[in-house]
Amino acid sequence: KLSNRLKIVGDFVSQNSRILDVGSDHAYLPINLLKNGKISYAIAGEVVDGPYQSAVANVKSQGLSDKIDVRLANGLEAFTEEDDIDTITIAGMGGSLISQILDAGKEKLHSIDNLVLQPNNSERNLRIWLQENGFLIVDEVILEENEKIYEVIFSKHGESNLNETQIEFGPFLNQEKSPVFKKKWTRELEKQNKILKNLRENSQDSHRVKEIEAKIQFIEENL
Ligand code: SAM
């Protein structure tokens, strides 16, 4: 059974898509989407041999080797135009790594309609990358699972002009301000307050103190 996190990633994949799942690890997401008739074909990309082998074994034991190609490849190198991929999913990695993966293969993204991205952190870096590279955020979800809070970003080609607040908190998440959103930023506020207290007691770095104070104020304004 799929984690709620990966289920929500899968919910953004449209019916009959052909997907590339980058960093697929065990290949649970493509296996699940295929078994549920949501997609017709997937590439499970993995750059590390251990997870690659595990993906190959899982796909084979589910009898899906004809519909899921498991490929040992770095990022977007896992697909070519001939694969006719329309959707890329990248989940369970840092937002900066996701941005790097997209950036390294950005000349291949023109043929991709949908990006479903689930950064574990540094969401702001990913939003900046998307905006600067002609991708529009069309929806977002925030969820909690096993004490961890995750964000899922659904993006398509398009222009946007997000302000600093929307970049930091997410254009949709900041509108919605769900209980999980409030929990995430309350946690972050507590963390920054601790850092500030520590700085005031142990350091003379007034520039850093001002920086943290500004961060705290920014979060408080948006909670
Ligand atoms: N996507 C799955 C999920 O969300 O549950 C697995 C997440 S796992 C924590 C991250 C996986 O990404 C690892 O298996 C790692 O080997 C893989 N990975 C990291 N960088 C990659 C890259 N540049 N290309 C392909 N896979 C990568």
Q: For residues 91 and 195, state if they share a domain.
A: no
Q: Give the binding-site residues of ligand 1, using a 6 Å CB cut-off.
A: 6, 22-25, 45-48, 51, 74-75, 91-93, 101
Q: What is the domain count for the chain?
A: 2
- Domain check: are 133 and 192 in the same one? no
**Domain residue limits at 89:** 4-162
pLDDT at 137 over 90: yes
Atom of ligand 1 nearest to the CA of 97: 20
- We report the CATH number of the domain holding residue 25 as 3.40.50.150
In the prediction, which pLDDT does 51 show?
A: 98
Q: Does residue 31 sit within a domain?
A: yes
The band of 1, judged by pLDDT with boundaries at 50, 70 and 90, is confident
Are residues 8 and 61 located together in one domain of the fold? yes
Do 28 and 96 lie in one domain? The reply is yes
The answer to the question of residue 172 being in a domain is no
- Do 10 and 110 share a domain, yes or no? yes
In a domain, 176, yes or no: no
The rounded distance, in Å, linking the Cα atoms of 26 and 107 is 28
The closest residue, in CA terms, to atom 26 on ligand 1 is 23
pLDDT, tens digit (0-9, with 9 covering 90-100), for 141-158: 999 999 999 999 999 999
187 and 156 in a single domain? The answer is no
For tokens 């007034």, the residue is: 206
Distance of CA 111 from the midpoint of ligand 1 (Å): 22
Whole-angstrom Cα distance, residue 199 to residue 103? 36
- Taking only the tens place, the pLDDT of each residue in 178-221 is 999 999 999 999 999 999 999 999 988 899 999 999 999 999 99
Same-domain pairing of 131 and 198: no
DSSP string, the chain: ---HHHHHHHHTSPTTEEEEEET-TTTHHHHHHHHTTSEEEEEEEESSHHHHHHHHHHHHHTT-TTTEEEEE-SGGGG--GGG---EEEEEEE-HHHHHHHHHHTGGGGGG--EEEEEESS-HHHHHHHHHHTTEEEEEEEEEEETTEEEEEEEEEE------HHHHHH-HHHHHH--HHHHHHHHHHHHHHHHHHHHHHHH---HHHHHHHHHHHHHHHHH-
pLDDT at 203: 84
122 burial type by CB count under 10 A (0-12 exposed, 13-18 middle, 19+ buried): middle
